[in-house]
Amino acid sequence: MSKKNSIKLFEDREIRAVWDENEEEWFFSVIDVVGILSESENPRNYWKVLKKRLKDEGNELVTNCNRLKLPAKDGKMRLTDVADSEQILRIIQSIPSPNAEPFKQWLAKVGKERLDEIADPQLAIERAISNYRKKGYSEEWITQRLKTIEFRKDLTAEWNRSGVKEGLEYALLTDEITKAWSDMTRLSIC
């Protein structure tokens, strides 16, 4: 696992993080997040108690938490409980604190939006377009992106009808298409 250590800031307080290239995911120090949101004098003990409570409730999150070496205050690399974004958001839900409340409200809002999108999938497309605009993409780029997504869906539907299996077979066909128009494989692009 190749790691890139980083410090994230939340209200001028540090949260240690590490990038996992294999998982393509950030992992955050649970102790740092718990300490900031709970305002506990002893965040390590707070996490220990919270972890036990979550485990007693049957939450498998605690079982799935990784331990990675992160720089400690003394500069040494020490094993620390870390969690990915989804796990951190779940932990935040369990912290009774005014600091955690804005995250909980945001999670409730996002959850409602996703339920609305299940009822009306057009809302998901509209949200994607809105997000692309907020990121500064041009209308032409957005239109092309949506056409590309539609083309990919049609292509994979045809592959499914033809008996192509997802995974390696999809990857091989995608590689052939990429090679045909660019004379490169996806592996040579990466």
Q: What is the 3-state secondary structure (H, E, C) of the chain?
A: CCEEEEEEEECCEEEEEEEECCCCEEEEEHHHHHHHHHCCCCHHHHHHHHHHHHHHCCCCHHHHCEEEEEECCCCCEEEEEEECHHHHHHHHHCCCCCCCHHHHHHHHHHHHHHHHHHHCCHHHHHHHHHHHHHCCCCHHHHHHHHHHHHHHHHHHHHHHHCCCCCCHHHHHHHHHHHHHHHCCCHHHHC
38 lies in which domain range?
3-117
Q: Which pLDDT score is estimated for 168?
A: 84
Q: Average pLDDT in the 13-24 region?
A: 83
Q: Which pLDDT score is estimated for 7?
A: 63
- Look at residue 178 and tell me if it is in a domain: yes
Of 133 and 187, more confident: 133
- Other Cβ atoms less than 10 A from the Cβ of 46: the count is 18
- Look at residue 43 and tell me if it is in a domain: yes
| Dihedral sign for Cα atoms in the order 71, 77, 81, 82 | positive
- Whether residue 101 is found in the same domain as residue 144: no
Q: Average pLDDT in the 151-156 region?
A: 89
Tens-place pLDDT, residues 37-74 = 998 889 999 999 998 888 888 887 766 678 888 888 88
Of 135 and 166, more confident: 135
- Whether residue 33 is found in the same domain as residue 82: yes
- Look at residue 144 and tell me if it is in a domain: yes
Please say which residue of 88, 117, 146 terminates a domain.
117
The tally of domains found in the chain comes to 2
Of 134 and 177, more confident: 134
- Summary mean pLDDT of the chain: 85
- Look at residue 130 and tell me if it is in a domain: no
- Look at residue 25 and tell me if it is in a domain: yes
Q: Which pLDDT score is estimated for 8?
A: 62
- Look at residue 44 and tell me if it is in a domain: yes
- Look at residue 58 and tell me if it is in a domain: yes
- Whether residue 144 is found in the same domain as residue 113: no
